[in-house]
Amino acid sequence: MRRLIRDAGLPEPHPPAVIPNTMPALALTAWASTQPTGAKALHDVLFPRYWAEGQNVAEPDVLLDAAEEAGLDRTAAIDALDDPQWIELVRRETSDAHSMGAGGVPAWVIDRRVLIPGAQPHELFERVLEKLGHQSRPVSES
């Protein structure tokens, strides 16, 4: 597994010894998706903090520092963490995914119509999006 991780260019995993409650990170990511910076910027900061550095993504300071590093407003992120609507949104989306047959992670729901379970090649996503009528876009380098 470690060889596959290295070959994929991913950081060496060092997750925390105790798996944290990731709901605060998921809720903050849901909020970030409504911001101009978007959720990807936050995800790109949180992913290595959790997997490579073993940081606890349930801790508010870890989340707020990550939000700020991702270009999000820290004060607005504090408000988002205190707003139960984001946790409720994550719960609703999780329930929807379960009702479509998702039983683990990763799993993606595309257009609220198609469930893609497990780690899949990029080409599968392209084919599904094309069948759903989406135009392909060049992948941006960021």
The answer on 109 and 50 residing in a single domain is no
Q: What is the CATH number of the domain that holds 86?
A: 3.40.30.10
Give pLDDT tens digits for 41-62. Answer: 999 999 889 888 889 999 999 9
The answer on 105 and 88 residing in a single domain is no
Q: Is the pLDDT of residue 141 over 70?
A: no
The answer on 39 and 107 residing in a single domain is no
Across residues 82-108, what is the average pLDDT?
A: 91
The answer on 108 and 82 residing in a single domain is no
The domain in which residue 74 lies consists of 2-99
Q: What is the pLDDT of residue 116?
A: 92
The tally of domains found in the chain comes to 2
The answer on 31 and 60 residing in a single domain is yes
Q: The tokens of 139 are what? A: 């992948």
The answer on 18 and 83 residing in a single domain is yes
